[in-house]
Chains A and B, each alone.
Chain A
């Protein structure tokens, strides 16, 4: 394939210099010395010498922690900070195993620059000055030719804000995080147009005091959202009734009083039927609805025909069960939650499904109630002073305003599409900065991504590990892990406001650097010194901490500081909502104005053809998708994923537990690697399930390479949500290709 930008597969560094991690050969030979089997060299002291405050970066929850080191400044372990209301001194398995990220020898070690050599493209090691100079000069070129707006940022994690600040100062507001369009975006948009606010991160669900919780596809416990799992355990002790709606018997389904084994893609019918029952049987909170909502009458007539019997035909759930569960959730109101979920990018009508959930919650009257949704509060920390940002000529809204009128945040896939020149592309993106997100794994539709990559003038990738995205960069910058750097103060909105400090527990390994330093360096070279008016980020943090009544020195001792609330955490009576009507909008005029259904309507979605099975995916509690697939501590727990197959299906397909198969989807795309079959009763016969984040194709990830199969590879059919551009990914169907057959096809 003759592309402008070859995916650089094998580490082809010029002679002389640090190798890019262990060579695959050493790993395959199996001759790892006893010392390599331990994180620290043999003979290192295990005695704790000091502890340094930090917060975790393995997922987005940001649990505050203490990092323990020995007298040689080697990191021994990391434990939760007991004062932190988010983790209460207990980290999840990924946080505990996070030290594997620090010790990983496959880490990016030096800046890399793409060069052409003997007709082949490869990476050459470079010094920081050279790399940063190159980045600054290319950015200036792009600004001169096309305007600063044509630089875009794709980001995830704590480094994001630094690069967003850099780009904003440079003149671009085009930054996107996959968490919007690929994950929670539909839900956020639905809630904004119902309640005027988003469910939050962490979600503002008062699980601790909840009496009945309904989970629509949410797999709490397998998704290890620390505070939520801790509160769920507390709630279980208090006898919470759990109602889980999932075609798969998830861990939480195993703890639920009711597990509704719903036919995939039909959740909206169930939700509408529940709304019907609750209205028909007058189980809704009449006072609350009267006082705080608008559009009830339209809602009532809308669902009048959506009976449980109607839903039965669609969902395969018995009408009696639908009525029973509706009554159960109403009985517990207002301490009754229909969980808004997190990853909701399923079928393209996800905003509507989230709207239905939001409406159902409104009927239960749980907004601002104990055991329902609480009012979050965070500490008011001022931003470090800097000049006003320049006003860009256009931004992401201009890109997708027409197509996705309700999108509040930037849409990753829209930005990717905007990077491809075409007749109607009036806002073309010319350069990318990618920080902390492995785009080929996170965002479906690889063909679009490759076309964009081909058309771009310049790509910078900032990452800690040689993830797949680094193969497409012009410049790769090695970021140090969260153990080795300062980042912004953690300020999570929760029941109780708190802040947490992250400071380095160790010197950055190899040539890696922190994002604050990288962005300042680039900023200086771009003449943006005024936006980076500090020598070391410590100054910024100290300044900010002093604004809220503490200091860096104090926070170094405490790690976490809790504040008292200024607003009420629970609300009574009439509540003011940030919507056009000031009330909860059961009927959404905004949706109507945008040409979308103002009240959710069930639409049927494509079903798997004969011999194919719907691919559904999820998380495992010991991994954060592709980010941790190379972490030795976590690989010890789960080295690869497996494809869950129903025993009846296994019988028909002739599969046994442990067989290795390739998966091929409806568009003929076959997985690069085989995956192990797990024959289990826990999955419906029309679907197969896999944990997302495996099947790495980059050999530099020596421990993750080739293990398991990648779900993203098989997600080629994307159902785009017309409301906000989200990418529905559960409409892909796979068939099994036996290992032997697969090998014959391979050239």
Chain B
């Protein structure tokens, strides 16, 4: 028998017996960030491809949610900070080795951009809207004119936003569960999928809904593929990774992950979308909610489980 224990009674709050320094604020932000990234990605994509007029929900309606999501995410992040009065230190420097620093700056860029983007569609949605100041009106026309250019910027930033949430976690090599490079693409795809789900839900145009649904189905397929590869990677890796995977293959997260995240949050909505495409009428809210719920729960489980995994003791 191998016995390992602390002789000196170490019990640092939030560190022992299991690391638990990040609570609900982080997974919530990761979810909202992924969602925002997904929506912005599709908005930018279809604007670039010139299909903006065909995809009103994609480029317009859904993007109204993004500023709210990002602001909520930022508030959530702020609440997580333990040394709150000093939060502004984040913006005094860029540290290229720190994914968190990238994230801080990317958010700095994406949030105003999303505000601008959705603001530029305000008048289409609410015809009676009038800007207060003249320079806002000229700014608005400038934005509308430069939408294609802006969408290039947006698509790049959206991809960075979506993928950095995963890279953030995977850069922590001390947490074996997170330390997989596939986590970045996985979070990006998951984010895109949640974005697509929201667009699908909001859309009133059947063609748009069908297109989004097909895209979402493809994303679901990729996501499942990436999840399988994630676990294959764990099991083929070192002892700590095998132990980490063990949490999901018989351990305490088995049920939560495979039933609620994978089955209910990915596979079932996928099946529902296939059925919808085949002609059965499924209320679009059902797969959309399941996907959103799955995305949120996925991040909650990953953040909690990741903190439990460790190299020593």
Contact = CB atoms under 8 A, between A and B. Distances in A.
Establish whether A and B are touching in the complex (CB under 8 Å): yes
Interface of A: 622, 636-639, 647, 678-682
Contact of A637 (B1, B5, B9): B9
B8 interface: yes
Contact of A681 (B1, B5, B8, B9): B1
A639 B3 contact: no
A632 to B, nearest CB: 12
A647 B1 CA distance: 9
A456 B9 CA distance: 42
Contacts of A681: 1, 3
Contacts of B9: 636-639
Contacts of A678: 5
A680 B5 CA distance: 11
7 contacts: A622-B8, A636-B9, A638-B9, A639-B9, A679-B3, A681-B1, A681-B3
Interface in B1-44: 1, 3, 5, 8-9
Contacts of B1: 647, 681
Going nearest first, the 3 A-B pairs with the smallest beta carbon separation are A637-B8, A637-B9, A681-B1
Contacts of A639: 9
A678 B3 CA distance: 10
Contacts of A680: 3
Interface of B: 1, 3, 5, 8-9
B298 to A, nearest CB: 31
A682 B9 CA distance: 19
B6 to A, nearest CB: 10
Contacts of B5: 678
A146 to B, nearest CB: 50
A647 B9 CA distance: 22
Main secondary structure of the interface of B (DSSP, over half): loop
Contacts of A638: 8-9
A177 B5 CA distance: 37
Main secondary structure of the interface of A (DSSP, over half): loop
Contacts of A682: 3
A251 to B, nearest CB: 9
Contacts of A647: 1
A638 B9 CA distance: 5
B101 to A, nearest CB: 30
B17 to A, nearest CB: 10
A622 B6 CA distance: 13
B15 to A, nearest CB: 14
A579 B140 CA distance: 110
A695 to B, nearest CB: 17
B284 to A, nearest CB: 49
A678 B6 CA distance: 12
A222 to B, nearest CB: 10
A664 to B, nearest CB: 26
A647 B3 CA distance: 11
A639 B9 CA distance: 8
A681 B3 CA distance: 8
A701 to B, nearest CB: 18
Contacts of B3: 679-682
A219 B9 CA distance: 20
A374 to B, nearest CB: 32
A195 to B, nearest CB: 37
A691 to B, nearest CB: 12
A385 B103 CA distance: 80
Nearest to B3: A680
Given A638-B8, A679-B3, A680-B3, 6 more contacts: A637-B8, A637-B9, A638-B9, A639-B9, A647-B1, A681-B1
A604 B8 CA distance: 38
B126 to A, nearest CB: 51
Interface hub of B1, B5, B9 (most chain A Cβ within 10 A) = B9
B76 to A, nearest CB: 26
A594 to B, nearest CB: 45
B98 to A, nearest CB: 30
A622 to B, nearest CB: 8
Nearest to B5: A678
A629 to B, nearest CB: 13
A256 B9 CA distance: 26
A707 to B, nearest CB: 12
Nearest to A635: B9
Contacts of A636: 9
A647 B2 CA distance: 11
A668 to B, nearest CB: 32
B114 to A, nearest CB: 40
Nearest to A620: B7
A639 B3 CA distance: 20
A679 B4 CA distance: 11
A636 B3 CA distance: 22
A622 B10 CA distance: 14
Interface hub of A637, A639, A647, A678 (most chain B Cβ within 10 A) = A637
Nearest to A680: B3
Nearest to A639: B9
A674 B1 CA distance: 25
A243 B1 CA distance: 24
Nearest to B2: A681
A638 B5 CA distance: 12
Nearest to B8: A637
A657 to B, nearest CB: 9
A682 B1 CA distance: 10
A112 to B, nearest CB: 33
A639 B1 CA distance: 26
A682 B4 CA distance: 12
Contacts of A622: 8
A427 B5 CA distance: 53
Nearest to A657: B3
A682 B2 CA distance: 11
B259 to A, nearest CB: 28
B254 to A, nearest CB: 21
A622 B8 CA distance: 9
B281 to A, nearest CB: 54
Contacts of A679: 3
A679 B1 CA distance: 10
A201 B200 CA distance: 84
A431 B8 CA distance: 42
B194 to A, nearest CB: 39
Nearest to A647: B1
B8 to A, nearest CB: 5
A681 B1 CA distance: 7
A638 B8 CA distance: 6
B264 to A, nearest CB: 34
B14 to A, nearest CB: 15
B4 to A, nearest CB: 11
A622 B1 CA distance: 26
A553 to B, nearest CB: 41
A679 B2 CA distance: 11
Nearest to A678: B5
Contacts of B8: 622, 637-638
A322 B3 CA distance: 29
Contacts of A637: 8-9
A682 B5 CA distance: 13
B257 to A, nearest CB: 26
Nearest to A251: B7
B167 to A, nearest CB: 36
